[in-house]
Structure formats: structure tokens, C-alpha cells
Amino acid sequence: MVEKEAIKEKESELKGPDHYDRSEIRMRENTEKARKGIRVLHGKNRPWELNRQGYIRTYMHDDSEGLANNHWSIFSHDIRAHSGKHRHQGGINLFVLKGKGYTTVDGQKYDWKEGDLILLPIKKGGVEHQHFNADGKPSRWVAFRHIPSADMIGRFREQKENFTDWDNKKT
């Protein structure tokens, strides 16, 4: 009796696709998405949003749908006076599109200007940082983070200080 139940249990486990087949299905779906997905994201169609860090325009993230590739987090940040302050695992590259400012990384100041690349290091315990505008005109950079890599090193985020307009929005 027990043997028959064990055999029935094993047979029921064999129904449906196994791990190998499921991974094959996922690969085909990803290939199809890459072939048919959206390949150009027009900035004018991406809204600016106010969040805890500031004014952000998100181009893509891992929850973006219909894209040929959603393995990246890519967003632009408009630095008017300063951003919020937060800590995360690092590994994000920020390309400065316009303006002049500085970023504090774990309390150390790093100046930047248009055309510079800011590299937030991958560090155990994360990197605390905040961005500041230095010339009174809005600065802007675009951020690139490879999501699978961020997941492998333990993606997290801890907000330390909110952007001023965010706090005003909540009152």
C-alpha cells in the first residue's frame, strides 16, 4: 500500500515540464522578447517623477514590460540643489549629462561636471551617498545598473534622508 502511494507520488511529480524544460521555455520567451520587444525608449514619453531621492525619469527597470531587454535599471536624475541621501550595495555608474556638482560617498566629496562618469563602488555594507548641484543651474546624470549583478551581490537600499521636495509633498 505504502509502495503504491510512493509510486503514484513520483508519477504525479513527473507530470508537467521539469526544470530543464521550464528553463528551455524561459530561454525561448527571452529570445522572443529580445526579437519583438521595444528597442527605443523616447525620453519625451518617460515622465519625470518626484520620489525620495529627487526628480527621476525611469527609462527601464526589472519590472518594465514589453522591452527587448529589461536586465538594466536606467534612470536620469535632475539635481536641482541636492538629492536625498541613501545607502545601497554600489555598482552603479552615473554619466553626467549636464551641469556641475559633487557627490559625497561615505562622507568624502567627489567633484564632477558634464561628461564625467561617477562610479559608485561595490562595497560590503553598502555605499552611503548624496548628490549636490554646484552651479545653481540644474545638473543631470543618467544611471546604469546591471540588475542580475546587483542581485548577485545582495541588492538593497536604505534611505537616510529624503529629498526636500518629497518631505514638502507629504505635508
Label the pairing between strands 127-133 and 82-88. antiparallel
Q: Check whether residue 147 and residue 68 sit in a common domain.
A: yes
Q: What angle do CA 144, 132, 94 make, to 5 degrees?
A: 15
Can you say how many angstroms the Cα of residue 155 is from the centroid of all Cα atoms in its chain? 9
- Domains contained in the chain, number: 2
Q: What CATH number has the domain bearing residue 93?
A: 2.60.120.10
Q: Check whether residue 113 and residue 156 sit in a common domain.
A: yes
Q: Check whether residue 26 and residue 56 sit in a common domain.
A: no
Q: Check whether residue 29 and residue 104 sit in a common domain.
A: no
Q: Check whether residue 18 and residue 97 sit in a common domain.
A: no
Q: Check whether residue 8 and residue 64 sit in a common domain.
A: no
Which pLDDT tens digits describe the chain residue by residue (171 residues)?
A: 666 666 666 665 667 788 899 999 989 988 998 899 999 999 999 999 999 999 999 999 988 889 998 899 999 999 999 999 999 999 999 999 999 999 999 999 999 999 999 999 999 999 999 999 998 899 999 999 999 999 999 999 999 999 988 877 765
Residue 144 sits in which domain range? Answer: 43-170
168: left (phi over 0), alpha (psi -120 to 50) or beta: alpha
DSSP 109-162: EEEEETT-EEEE---TT-EEEEEEESSSSPEEEEEEEEHHHHHHT---EEEEE-
